[in-house]
């Protein structure tokens, strides 16, 4: 690899860390709920406000990067993220914190919609899979470091530290990348389909909020059906707009290619199941295992550490093993790790905890690298911003849906156990096991679906 290009790849990875380092927040969930006097389900809005924002905006911003330059959009995202993180750390109320998380989501969308495109644009096309593997390694490294740093920072300075410690990192990347330029365009600059991007954002945002509001249907809540109708209307408008536009946000014809739509749906569903780890394991380590925050952060980092290992191995294997097989292996390993967690108890040995988390992380890593390479290879080279955004967006859709659906499932299981006379901690453990086993079953169903589609 060219030394200058390799240096810039590392700096792009450093700037992109602002997004995966958000896993530091998960280890701070217990102190945040205690500080603001929240019930466990209320913490989901910290995830939803952030991830829903960048998930809704990524495809549109990816197209902006394709048109106006990925480097410009990437640097704007770094500057925006630094300000938003400081606002989160200074939040005097939970409402202020949620608003700041929305702003943080905008910055994240600007960064990760163009990060993969910038990384692959530095090197020849023959090295694409390896570059994506290295970028995935750096992204996973952030996810691994997040819980470890978060546990130590929270223990020393409290929950605001999981936000402010990232501001110097992104500012450093911004300074070192001041001269970063995107490769010169080989085609004329097309117009940006602002109407299509707005309709797509409205479709994704309202659909995910509708999922979140399903919990209130039994209480006479009406927001879920109203938001679902809004999502359908906006989605129909987006489809009509995309068919008429000369340069739509994304060419819909690509989803008619054999297996492409199924692959994207599978990635969303497996990430939905996989997010159960970051959502519930911190509470298991605190309530059931009784470990201090710093130690819990180290253990929770085992999953993204597995993702790091798989990202490097996957980038190397992609030239030797068909991507479809690697996708299947990733789904199977993710489900296996979740299944093992479904049998955790109060006295589960440390090595068993570690093995389950590593297995889960390796599975997600293999899936993400092989899936991202497939999406990048399928879309035209001039649409790399959209390709990288699509790969990130399906993962994000799964995470946001998980924050709503899995907390709804967990709450129902815990309430059923409490109503049956089970004590508080035991009721929590039953809900934890049930949620993880059902997440593993979802991975199994996705694997069968993919295998049937391949035949």
- Return the CATH number of 3-180+188-192+247-454, one of 1.10.3720.10, 3.80.10.10, 3.40.50.80, 1.20.1250.20: 1.20.1250.20
**pLDDT value of position 185:** 59
Q: Residue 79: name the closest of 13, 140, 183, 169 by CA.
A: 169
Q: What is the pLDDT of residue 167?
A: 92
pLDDT at 434: 94
Residue 89 near residue 163, CB atoms below 8 Å: yes
Looking from the CA of 197 toward its CB, the CA atoms found within 13 Å total 16
**pLDDT score for 135:** 84
What is residue 1's predicted lDDT score, i.e. its pLDDT? 53
Per the CB < 8 A criterion, the answer to whether 197 and 60 are in contact is: yes
pLDDT at residue 188, rounded to an integer: 64
Q: In the chain, which residues have pLDDT < 70?
A: 1, 40-41, 181-189, 218-221, 454-455
Max Cα-Cα span within the chain = 68
| pLDDT score for 455 | 62
HSE of 325 in the Cβ direction (CA atoms, 13 Å)? 7
Tell me how far the alpha carbon of residue 429 is from its chain's centroid: 26
Q: What is the pLDDT of residue 77?
A: 92
- Residue 376 in tokens: 């990048």
Give the whole-angstrom CA distance, residue 225 versus residue 209. 10
Q: How far is CA 173 from the centre of its chain?
A: 21
Compute the distance between CA of residue 223 and CA of residue 217 in angstroms, rounded to an integer: 8
- pTM here? 0.79
């Amino acid at each position: 690899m060219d030394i200058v290009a390799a240096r810039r790849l590392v700096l792009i990875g450093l700037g992109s860390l602002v997004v995966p380092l958000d896993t530091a927040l998960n280890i701070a969930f217990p102190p945040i709920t205690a500080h603001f006097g929240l019930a466990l389900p209320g913490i989901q809005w910290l995830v939803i406000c952030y991830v829903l924002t960048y998930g809704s905006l990524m495809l549109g911003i990816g197209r902006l990067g394709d048109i106006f330059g990925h480097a410009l959009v990437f640097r704007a995202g770094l500057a925006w993220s630094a300000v938003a993180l400081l606002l989160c750390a200074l939040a005097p109320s939970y409402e202020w914190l949620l608003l700041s998380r929305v702003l943080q989501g905008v910055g994240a969308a600007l960064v990760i919609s163009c990060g993969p495109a910038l990384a692959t644009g530095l090197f020849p096309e023959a090295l694409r899979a390896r570059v994506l593997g290295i970028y995935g390694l750096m992204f996973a490294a952030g996810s691994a470091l997040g819980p470890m740093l978060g546990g130590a920072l929270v223990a020393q300075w409290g929950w605001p530290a999981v936000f402010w410690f990232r501001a110097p990192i992104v500012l450093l990347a911004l300074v070192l990348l001041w001269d970063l330029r995107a490769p010169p365009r080989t085609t004329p600059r097309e117009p940006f389909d602002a109407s299509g991007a707005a309709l797509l954002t409205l479709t994704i945002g309202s659909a995910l909020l509708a999922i979140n509001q399903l919990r209130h249907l039994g209480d006479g809540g009406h927001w879920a059906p109203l938001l679902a109708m809004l999502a359908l209307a906006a989605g129909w408008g987006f489809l009509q707009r995309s068919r008429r536009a000369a340069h739509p946000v994304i060419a819909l014809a690509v989803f008619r290619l054999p297996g492409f739509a199924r692959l994207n749906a599978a990635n969303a569903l497996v990430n939905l199941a996989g997010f159960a780890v970051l959502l519930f394991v911190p509470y298991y380590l605190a309530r059931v295992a009784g470990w201090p925050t710093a130690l819990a952060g180290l253990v929770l980092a085992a999953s993204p550490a597995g993702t790091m290992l798989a990202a490097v191995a996957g980038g190397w294997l992609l030239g030797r093993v068909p991507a479809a097989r690697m996708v299947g292996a990733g789904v199977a390993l993710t489900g296996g790790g979740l299944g093992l967690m479904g049998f955790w108890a109060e006295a589960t040995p440390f090595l068993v905890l570690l093995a389950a988390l590593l297995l889960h992380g390796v599975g997600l890593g293999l899936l993400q690298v092989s899936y991202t390479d497939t999406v990048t290879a399928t879309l035209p080279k001039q649409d790399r911003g959209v390709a990288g955004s699509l790969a990130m967006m399906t993962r994000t859709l799964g995470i946001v849906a998980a924050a709503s659906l899995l907390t709804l499932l967990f709450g129902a299981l815990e309430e059923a156990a409490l109503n049956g006379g089970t004590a508080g901690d035991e009721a929590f453990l039953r809900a934890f096991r049930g949620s993880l086993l059902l997440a593993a079953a979802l991975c199994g169903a996705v694997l069968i679906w993919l295998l049937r589609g391949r035949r």
